[in-house]
Amino acid sequence: MAHIDDSLKAALYRITCPDSATLGNFHLGLLPEDAAKLIADHVAICPHCIREINQLEAFLAETAVSLEPSTVERIKVWIAKRLPSGGQTRSILGTPAFAMRGNDTGPLMYEAGDAQLSLEVQDDPEHLGRKSILGLVLGIETEAVAARLIKEEVVITAVTLDDLGNFSFTDLEPGTYELTLSGKDIEIHAQDLLI
């Protein structure tokens, strides 16, 4: 049997190999002691099982990284809640600084954690058939906050907020968008924004 070829040797090894689930449990220390002892003895001499465990280890290391709290996960994420339109919220928050008057539907109002968001959707006067959005964010630090308009997971346009929390988008195709506001430690999502 000294000249047994490698592939046959491999096949013989694999006959006595524990299955992948057992190997995995062994690796994670989940097997009872005597079962673990048997597999430890086998793994010590089986190149295939060693390789399988190495692969498992690499896989676990990869997923462990993504489970660690990242800077992203320390960010407060708020889903903006649409408030009913009406004079009351409007008088509390005002309208965006450069909003045009005479829009009888009034701005769309949202509440997201500590932030209040007001969006005025209008026809873009400079681009026929296109829309513009005038936005105002109150209640949070608006320095270094970016507003992004997303359609089908693609960022269509992005701007930064001014000191007072104003921002605007122009030349937009009518449709349904998601608006995100992201700063150092907050992220606000306003979904299903129909313009």
Q: Is 48 in the site for Zn ion (CB under 5 A)?
A: yes
Closest CA to 99 of 120, 128, 83, 78: 120
CA angle in degrees (0–180, nearest 5) for 154-160-163: 155
Closest CA to 128 of 96, 174, 169: 174
What number of chain residues touch Zn ion (CB under 5 A)? 4
Closest CA to 78 of 111, 109, 108, 112: 112
Pick one of 17, 75, 138, 150: the residue that binds Zn ion (CB under 5 A).
Answer: 17
Closer to Zn ion by CB, 40 or 155: give it: 40
Q: In the range 136-155, which residues lie near Zn ion by CB under 5 A?
A: none
Residue 141 CA to residue 83 CA, distance in Å, equals 21
Q: Is 23 in the site for Zn ion (CB under 5 A)?
A: no
Using CA atoms in the order 40, 41, 45, 46, what is the torsion angle rounded to 10 degrees?
-50
Phi, psi of 51 (to 5 degrees): -65, -40
Q: Is 56 in the site for Zn ion (CB under 5 A)?
A: no
Q: How far is the CB of 23 from Zn ion (least distance, A)?
A: 8
Q: How far is the CB of 182 from Zn ion (least distance, A)?
A: 49
Closer to Zn ion by CB, 9 or 184: give it: 9
At position 172, the amino acid (one-letter code) is: L
Q: How far is the CB of 17 from Zn ion (least distance, A)?
A: 3
Task: Return the range that interacts with Zn ion (CB under 5 A); candidates 12-20, 32-40, 56-64, 74-82.
Answer: 12-20
Q: Is 134 in the site for Zn ion (CB under 5 A)?
A: no
Closer to Zn ion by CB, 48 or 81: give it: 48
CA 160 to chain centre: 20
Task: Return the range that interacts with Zn ion (CB under 5 A); candidates 46-54, 114-122, 124-132, 157-165.
Answer: 46-54
Q: Is 49 in the site for Zn ion (CB under 5 A)?
A: yes
Q: Is 46 in the site for Zn ion (CB under 5 A)?
A: yes
Residue 38 CA to residue 40 CA, distance in Å, equals 5
Length of the chain: 195
| Residues that bind Zn ion in the complex, under the rule CB under 5 A | 17, 46, 48-49
